[in-house]
Structure 1
Amino acid sequence: MDTSRRDLLAGAGGIVCTGAFAGCLDFTAGEGAAGPEGVPDTLSCADDEFVRLEPPIEEAVADRSAVADGVSVELSAEGTSETYGNSMRLAFRNAGEDDVRTYGEDAYTIQRETEEGWREIRGSTSGETVELPAEEESLSPNSAYNWNLTLREDAIAEAVSGLELTVCPALGPGPHRFVYWGLLDGPPVGVEFQLIG
């Protein structure tokens, strides 16, 4: 029986898995990052009830490492660019010899660079301001907070349990950054990455 590649794709519903690859290619998936490209003027949302998260960042964001009350901390990312829909692994680690005080694992922001500056991409559609969980705790030496963020709107919105968030506008190709702002005795620490459509 002769079967063409087109017949195989049609019969599989657009999903192809082969032994040569670790995953599957889903040809029925979305078009990719559909939001504004590059560095937009600002981030605007068509939903009138959308209220953007405002992370409590009051000082300059340190690039990848900082010192908190004499203790070194590091924020690392798997790479400096990632494709829409793929996962990006990040870790915030206590690299010192003493505990550091933090506001926990959810005290982070995912931002998009705009002409107006860095803006959080998440918010609430309830029409009211919401705040991320911020319970004070200690991070011991060599301990870390680890994130495996899927760079897709629904996955980012659902990453913090207990909050109904959304991403608006849709993600678009361009410069983004992840900032951990939950360090009590030190500056926020960030790492930039390019989202590829």
Structure 2
Amino acid sequence: MTDITRRTTLYGIAAASVALAGCAETVDPTPGDRNGTDGADGDPGNGSEDGDGTDGDDGDVETAVQQVGEALSGPVWDRERRRGFCALVTEEHDAAWLLRNAPEETVAFVEETDFSESVLAYVESVGPTTCHGELSFADVGVEDGTLVASATVGGPDDDEDACGEAITFSGAFLRVTTDARPESARVSITDGWDETATVRSDDPLIDPDGLRGDVRPDGDPPNVPASFECDVDGFERHPQGYEGEVNWGGGGGAGSDAGGDGPLVLRITTEGDDAADNTTVLRGNRFWVELTNVSAREVHVGNQGKYNLEVRTESGWTELRGADGDAAFEYTDEAIGVSPGESLEWEFELTESGLVEDGPHADALRVCPDLVPGRYRFVFWGAADLAVAFDYEG
């Protein structure tokens, strides 16, 4: 049985470790007011505060800050491996995934931004108590097209503050108005434990190594059949929707030629205690293929039915499914938006009927001949021809 679903990634994810590079390594954060920028005095509430930014290589900047009071990303990054997260918003629709559960005042702040002259940097971090709920910004500037800043998680104002001991994630939008709008962002973040590291807007939101599942088996297949031929007259195989090589385990979105380091990551997981790992599937067991957007921007893919199921033979990879007669394998041409941290999932049962039931063209497709031991793969040609593989030992 094929079950195609869409969901947001909620399981434990290890986010990317942060690398320090260039001049950002030596940034010495100078915290400003807990709600304003560059030390400007302001209302300690959750409103925004305007102020003059520091001079950058690309001219003067004006800044404003909107405290969010929570982490709008979920958060899905791992606080043990990184100090925080940042995203650069250059168009209003780029912030849509962050605003799904945002407070009204935060939504209004984004909507009031004139993106013809301003950008927004969204920054998150974390601290050890309930008093670590806001971020302050300093050293804001633009260097060679990159927005640079330092961000610090605020703590209790004095020893008399009543702070509950709880891991607290915080988020804030920094609006930057400048003659030359930056195209990327680099922020030195100091969290509530006074640990500092640099994050960048092009860093992945999720570390692919922290995702469950595998890409393909190691070593040789248990069997390589000479062919996979159906002896039924008029049987027509489902065509391959891709050309040439595939991108194992990851790549870009629809229409992209990106390789395995793109924003989309594909993994396979299996059920059953007898499975040696996530790349061995027993007959009758279920397996899942999951596509996750690990980046900090929305990525578009094609129809979820745009995939091939194949077995490796001596003559190459051969599609398992086909139909009798003059079958028309047509798919709608659409773009499905996958938000950062969100996943698309396909579920199958490893039987002849289970590989087609409830899938695309289920009323016409069937597997022929019967499955044989060997190496099989799933190729999603709705986005950069992404593939995962597993072994079936019979």
TM-score tier after normalising by the smaller chain length: 0.7 to 0.9
What is the match of residue 242 of structure 2? 57
Stretches of structure 1 that go unaligned for 5 or more consecutive residues are 1-36
Matches of residues 142-161 of structure 1 in structure 2 within 5 Å?
142-161=341-360
CA deviations on 1:148-170 (whole Å, 9 max, x unpaired) are: 21000111121315542100111
Is the Cα–Cα contact under 8 Å of residues 53 and 129 in structure 1 kept in the other structure? no
Is the Cα–Cα contact under 8 Å of residues 241 and 307 in structure 2 kept in the other structure? no
What is the match of residue 174 of structure 1? 374
Q: Does 1:73 align with 2:276?
A: no
Amino acid at match of 2:336: E
| Identity over aligned pairs, percent | 28
What is the match of residue 57 of structure 2? none
Q: Compared with structure 1, are the counterparts of its residues 129 and 50 closer, same or farther at alpha carbon in structure 2 (3 Å cutoff)?
A: farther
Deviation at 1:108, TM superposition (A): 1.3
Is the Cα–Cα contact under 8 Å of residues 112 and 121 in structure 1 kept in the other structure? yes
Is the Cα–Cα contact under 8 Å of residues 320 and 368 in structure 2 kept in the other structure? yes
Matches of residues 86-101 of structure 1 in structure 2 within 5 Å?
86-101=285-300
In 1, Cα distance between equivalents of 2:268 and 2:357? 20
Aligned pair count reads 158
Amino acid at match of 2:265: E
CA deviations on 1:42-90 (whole Å, 9 max, x unpaired) are: 2211111211011221131111111345751100111111101110112
SS at match of 1:92: strand
Equivalent in 312, 315, 325 of residue 116 of structure 1? 315
TM-score (norm 2): 0.38
Q: Compared with structure 1, are the counterparts of its residues 153 and 189 closer, same or farther at alpha carbon in structure 2 (3 Å cutoff)?
A: same
TM-score (norm 1): 0.73
Is the Cα–Cα contact under 8 Å of residues 124 and 130 in structure 1 kept in the other structure? no
Deviation at 1:132, TM superposition (A): 4.6
Amino acid at match of 1:168: C
Equivalent in 337, 340, 343 of residue 138 of structure 1? 337
Q: Compared with structure 1, are the counterparts of its residues 177 and 158 closer, same or farther at alpha carbon in structure 2 (3 Å cutoff)?
A: same
Is the Cα–Cα contact under 8 Å of residues 246 and 387 in structure 2 kept in the other structure? yes
Is the Cα–Cα contact under 8 Å of residues 225 and 374 in structure 2 kept in the other structure? no
Deviation at 1:133, TM superposition (A): 5.0
Segment of structure 1 superposing worse, 66-75 or 55-64: 66-75
In 2, Cα distance between equivalents of 1:55 and 1:100? 23
Q: Does 1:189 align with 2:386?
A: yes
Is the Cα–Cα contact under 8 Å of residues 107 and 133 in structure 1 kept in the other structure? no
Stretches of structure 2 that go unaligned for 5 or more consecutive residues are 1-221, 270-277
What is the match of residue 9 of structure 1? none
In 1, Cα distance between equivalents of 2:329 and 2:303? 17
Deviation at 1:135, TM superposition (A): 3.1
Is the Cα–Cα contact under 8 Å of residues 107 and 134 in structure 1 kept in the other structure? no
Amino acid at match of 2:268: A
In 1, Cα distance between equivalents of 2:264 and 2:304? 14
Amino acid at match of 1:57: Y
In 1, Cα distance between equivalents of 2:332 and 2:286? 23
SS at match of 1:179: strand
In 2, Cα distance between equivalents of 1:133 and 1:81? 33
